[in-house]
Structure 1
Amino acid sequence: MAAGIEMVDAFYPGRDPIDYYGNGGFRFGDMSHQGALMVLPSGTRRWDLPEDGPFSLASFERILTEKDDIEILLIGTGPRLTPLDPKVAGHLRGEGLKLDVMDTGAAVRTLNILLSEDRAVAAVLLPVD
């Protein structure tokens, strides 16, 4: 009997710049990842999105566990800028996070610049085709 596919917590302990994005994924640190991505002070991991959507408060739970180490949170909303729900944005700001919402391409470019400046940045990025 063949075993089913097991999803593991894809985690990369580095904070390398994103070398490429597109075709539904990202390339960074000699690795590639298909799907949404989360770059945190602790490292880079897949962004598991809850069923109620990518920008619900539940989708930011892991971010909030590291909020004390984050100065700026970049939110890459895919191919186009999609504003956050004001309640979600208000809650995140109330937790002390500075938000910058933009399309994923702009978020990747901004992330790479802030990483090169050794800034306390985190990002959540939806993939683009």
Structure 2
Amino acid sequence: QFDRKSQEYRALKRYWKLIQQDSRKLSDKRFYRPMFRMHLTNKEILEKLLSYSDELRQHYELYQFLLFHFQEKNSDHFFSLIEQEIATVNPIFQTVFKTFLKDKDKVLNAMELPYSNAKLEATNNLIKV
């Protein structure tokens, strides 16, 4: 929704990964950020990015709640939050939420069981490389 030459657009393009990170793990180290022409922490940059759009802020907070419940393995809270918010979120989120609900048994297995296919995926990656 922002013009490609605007400060907001460039900041979101540059720091989009901060929005995907767990908010509890953001660094408090202060560095000079040429884009903002000041010394900022990652938390302060994230706050600036979220100030650009109320919709972005609301979806970010929802994402952080879902991420927290997933990491803490609170499947009841995780799925109740999805069911509660599915009608009010952006259509892209609705698609993701519908997929979570459709594959609920698989998501529950991922949350509850201690198994991971990370080593297998790493091996596949090595073979491809």
TM-score (norm 1): 0.26
The answer to which structure has the higher helix fraction is 2
The answer to which structure has the higher strand fraction is 1
If asked which structure has higher relative contact order (CA below 8 Å, sep 6+), I would say: 1
TM-score (norm 2): 0.26
Structure with higher Rg: it is 2
